[in-house]
Amino acid sequence: MPNKKPNIAVIYFPGNNCEEESLKAVLASGMDGKIVRWNQRKGIENYDGFIIPGGWGYEDRIRAGVIMAKDPIFNSIRKEAENGKPVLGICNGAQALVECGMIPGLKNKVEMALAPNKNPFISGYYCTWVYVKSAQEKGRCAFSNFTEKNEIIPVPIAHGEGRFVTKDKELIEKLVKNKQIIFQYSTKDGKIDDSFPTNPNGAVNNIAAICNKKGNVMAIMPHPERASFIRQLPDSSDLKNRFAGNKDAVEDPAPAMHVFKSMKEYIEEEIL
Amino acid sequence: MIKMPAKTVETSVNRKTISDRDRKRMAFIDMIVSLKVPDTTAITALQTLQKIGFSKINDVKRADYYKFLVEGDEEKFKSQICRVDILVNANKHSCSFSISKDNMVKVLVKNINGEESGILSTLKNRLGFKNIKKIEKSILWSLSIDADENEARKIAEKAAKELLVNEHYQEYEIL
């Protein structure tokens, strides 16, 4: 057991708004962490892992995540990722990881997009609770050490541009073959149905999260940091109802906390 | 891009679609809507392009570009559509019906299978523009580049690929 806790940099870009929640999930999972501004590149190599949080970095100017992706700090993060350190991009952070080519990371270029949602009722921003199903065996990536294959997790989404797409017809096959699709939108019972509302944005293959081939970088559109405690779950959820009347239990971890606990375990085993 | 309906021989099948007479009355109308106030997106685009090495690009402008396929009186349509505040807010937007002739290289960026049905439905059903047959929305980028025309077009194309366009869901055209 390492004698220090993993230390996480939650990278804040102007316009992000989920950095505090992300840090709270990091701390609750047993790691240390700090919010680091996008222009504080000096010393970035001293952190053991990185989270690019959600929000509207640079107001989503031009396209969601693209200006963040061109920021020099991504050169440093990419270098640390190449050394095996884990990088988690949540929502806007996921968009930036795709726009800088770190996800899916098979070629040295942008291979995908997070395009505007396809939703039969609402155009633009859409916010709701969904279910995602773990598509891979436990431990396929740095963020799934505690997630069994086919495990179903309730998480919220909140985005206008969250539809994973690619014009590369072979890419999805490669992602499936490489087991890089980590979470897929599903019904409550785990059925992969590509129609709305199960697939809330029209993502190809119901993709909600993709990792790189090595498994240490993951882009996830839903927000695990907003579903990491029982109290954060919607009142309608079965899980929350199980704890009805127990006011202390609402601070217990919810299933999405596994993403952060897994990050911790990965760093303890691979980095420290 | 919107294609003008092809002239067809009228049959019982297509009689009810577009007749020659109707086709003659239809026209494409371009509307370019730009900000009168400083455009932070264009400023950010310029700063980012320069930061990633496009030192010859010295100005960037951006506008919303609407292409309407309209039936009937063009001038009347123009006078009405430029007053629709969901497209043109007179407090902050200016509007024109042709692309300005200047020395800037124009890059038109459009989402592939873009979803304009919402705007079309609002214009037709809520605002009474029954004469709009189709609508396309794009972003028109204008780049001022210190280079001769050929080189400027190459630089604009590179800028499109590296920043302005994600070709996995967008397409572009250098005008």
Structure tokens at A182: 């980590």
For residue B111, the chain A residues in CB contact (below 8 A) are 115-116
> Cβ neighbours of residue A52 under 8 Å, at least 6 residues apart?
A11, A13, A68, A77, A87, A88, A89, A90, A92, A93, A94, A96, A97
pLDDT-above-90 percentage for chain B: 79
**Which residues in B lie closer than 8 A to residue A113 (C-beta atoms)?**
166, 168-170
A19 touches chain B (CB under 8 A): no
Measure the N-to-C terminal CA separation of chain A; round to a whole number of Å: 9
- B48 with B60: CB under 8 angstroms? no
In angstroms, how far is CA A24 from the centroid of its own chain?
15
- This complex has an ipTM of 0.93
Q: A123 and B118: CB-CB below 8 Å?
A: yes
Q: Quick check: is A211 catalytic?
A: no
Do A110 and B48 make contact, defined as CB atoms within 8 angstroms?
no
Residue among A38, A61, A99, A114 with most chain B CBs within 10 A, to mutate: A61
Of B40, B41, B168, the CB nearest to A166: B168
DSSP secondary structure string for all residues of chain B? ---PPPP----TTTTTS--HHHHHHEEEEEEEEEESS--HHHHHHHHHHHHTT-TTEEEEEEEEEEEEEEES-HHHHHHHHTT-TTT--TTTEEEESS---SSSEEEEEEETT---HHHHHIIIIIS--TTEEEEEEEEEEEEEESS-HHHHHHHHHHHIIIII--TTTEEEEE-
Quick check: B111 and A115 CB within 8 A?
yes
Residue A63 to residue B40, Cβ atoms within 8 A: no
Residues B14, B7: Cα–Cα separation, whole Å: 11
- Beta carbons of B40 and A59 less than 8 Å apart: yes
A111: annotated active-site residue: no
- Classify residue A47 by its DSSP letter: -
Cβ contact A66–B51 (<8 Å): no
Query: Among partner residues B45, B52, B118, which is closest to A62 by beta-carbon distance?
Result: B45
How many residue contacts between A and B have a Cβ separation below 8 Å? 49
Q: What is the pLDDT of residue B21?
A: 57
Do A50 and A267 form a contact (C-beta atoms < 8 A)?
Answer: no
pLDDT digits (tens, 9 = 90+) for B24-72: 589 999 999 999 999 999 999 999 999 999 999 999 999 999 999 999 9
Nearest to A112 among B44, B164, B168 (CB): B168
Contact B48 A67 (CB under 8 A): yes
**Predicted local confidence at residue B39, as pLDDT:** 97
- Closest partner CB to A66 (pick from B118, B163, B167): B163
Catalytic residue among A161, A223, A258, A265: A223
Cβ–Cβ below 8 Å for B167 and A112: no
Cβ-nearest to B164 among A62, A112, A113: A62
What are the structure tokens assigned to A259, written together?
A: 């993403």
The tens place of each residue's pLDDT in chain A, 272 residues long, gives: 678 999 999 999 999 999 999 999 999 999 999 999 999 999 999 999 999 999 999 999 999 999 999 999 999 999 999 999 999 999 999 999 999 999 999 998 999 999 999 988 888 899 999 999 999 999 999 999 999 999 999 999 999 999 999 999 999 999 999 999 999 999 999 999 999 999 999 999 999 999 999 999 999 999 999 999 999 998 888 877 777 777 778 888 999 999 999 999 999 999 99
> Touching check for A27 and chain B: CB below 8 Å?
no
Look up A91 and say whether it is catalytic. Answer: yes
Name the active-site residue from A18, A80, A91, A99: A91
Predicted pLDDT of residue A247: 76
Under an 8 A CB cutoff, do A123 and B48 touch?
Answer: no
